[in-house]
């Protein structure tokens, strides 16, 4: 299957392995996300998670927060089945939808206090990323926040240079993966990853009407960002 979600449908165990070894800095990044979400509104809040995958890293955090509702959207059906397991016990309504996040954003009639998206945006073209920011702003209540985790190119680094650098790091440091798993992961990155620079992402957010951009953490090319919609 030649699609961005194929890696996660066919090889969720590979993704789990690289998360378990913290190769994409999930540990530090999700600690920053928990601090940021814990800083949010005092009342229970509604969260939309775009490209939620199996929600395995977010679920334990959500269980410690005062959530009114959780909705997760992902292209990969098998990941959503795992998400349902991981989110079991959450003390709020949980709604999981299979589909494309941009299409979902266009059709969704709900309003949210927070939109969260982790390591999914970089698969979209620049035009679609801009659309993503615009539609997220539409879905958020006034004073709501977009929490974005994603990879970004260094300033001045073009896509081929980024891909060479990122895949070079994978080949050197992701030693827990079997050779076949590493080849598969590198093939996925080279085929589907289209990260912007950090300034590019900040500019898109500003153009979509977000006023308050915060950098929650950066670990090599892996960023955690928060964008506020004016109250």
Ligand X SMILES: C[S@@+](CC[C@H](N)C(=O)[O-])C[C@H]1O[C@@H](n2cnc3c(N)ncnc32)[C@H](O)[C@@H]1O
8 binding ligand X? (CB under 6 A): yes
Q: Which stretch binds ligand X (CB under 6 A): 84-92, 114-122, 136-144, 174-182?
A: 114-122
Question: Smallest gap, in angstroms, from Cβ of residue 79 to ligand X?
Answer: 5
Stretch that binds ligand X, among 2-10, 87-95, 151-159, 174-182 (CB under 6 A): 2-10
21 lies in the binding site for ligand X (CB under 6 A): no
Residue 119 found at the interface with ligand X (CB under 6 A): yes
CB of 125 to ligand X, least distance (A): 11
**Among residues 37, 74, 136, 174, the one that binds ligand X under rule CB under 6 A:** 74
Residue 49 CA to residue 53 CA, distance in Å, equals: 9
- The stretch near ligand X (CB under 6 A) out of 50-58, 139-147, 156-164, 195-203 is 50-58
- Return the residue matching tokens 């098998």: 78
What count of residues does the chain have?
231
Instruction: Please tell me the count of residues contacting ligand X according to CB under 6 A.
Output: 18
Please pick, from the candidates 34, 66, 100, 181, the single residue that binds ligand X as defined by CB under 6 A.
100
Min dist CB 138 to ligand X, Å, is 17
Of the candidate spans 4-12, 63-71, 201-209, 223-231, the one that interacts with ligand X by CB under 6 A turns out to be 4-12
Residue 4 contacts ligand X per CB under 6 A: yes
Question: What are the CA-CA distances from residue 183 to residues 3, 82, 168, 178, 186 (Å)?
Answer: 17, 25, 12, 9, 5
Please tell me whether residue 52 binds ligand X under the rule CB under 6 A.
yes
Selected binder of ligand X within 14, 76, 96, 140 (CB under 6 A): 76
Sign of CA dihedral 62, 39, 112, 75: negative
How far are the Cα atoms of 24, 34, 56, 58, 79 from residue 86, in angstroms, in the given order? 20, 17, 6, 9, 10
Q: Minimum distance from CB of 118 to ligand X (Å)?
A: 3
- Please pick, from the candidates 71, 123, 129, 153, the single residue that binds ligand X as defined by CB under 6 A: 123
Side-chain half-sphere exposure of 134, counting CA atoms within 13 A: 10
How far is the first Cα of the chain from the last one, in angstroms, to the nearest whole number? 43
The footprint of ligand X (CB under 6 A) covers 4-5, 8, 51-53, 57, 73-76, 79, 100-101, 118-120, 123
């Amino acid at each position: 299957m030649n699609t961005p979600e194929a890696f996660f449908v066919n090889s969720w165990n590979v993704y789990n392995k690289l998360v378990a070894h913290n190769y994409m800095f999930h540990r530090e990044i999700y600690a920053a996300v928990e601090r940021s979400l814990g800083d949010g509104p005092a009342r229970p809040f509604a969260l939309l998670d775009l490209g939620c995958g199996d929600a395995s890293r977010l679920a334990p955090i959500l269980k410690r927060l005062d959530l009114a509702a959780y909705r997760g959207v992902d292209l990969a059906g098998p990941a959503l089945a795992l998400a349902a397991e991981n989110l079991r016990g959450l003390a709020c309504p949980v709604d999981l939808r299979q589909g494309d996040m941009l299409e979902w954003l266009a059709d969704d009639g709900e309003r949210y206090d927070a939109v969260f998206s982790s390591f999914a945006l970089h698969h979209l073209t620049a035009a679609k990323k801009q659309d993503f920011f615009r539609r997220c702003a539409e879905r958020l209540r006034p004073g709501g926040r977009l929490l974005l985790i994603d990879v970004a190119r260094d300033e001045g680094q073009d896509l081929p240079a980024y891909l060479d650098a990122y895949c070079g790091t994978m080949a050197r440091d992701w030693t827990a993966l079997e050779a076949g798993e590493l080849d598969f992961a590198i093939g996925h990155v080279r085929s589907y990853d289209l990260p912007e620079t950090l300034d590019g992402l900040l500019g898109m957010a500003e153009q979509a009407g977000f006023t308050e951009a915060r950098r929650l953490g950066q670990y090599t090319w892996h960023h955690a960002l928060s964008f506020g919609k004016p109250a």
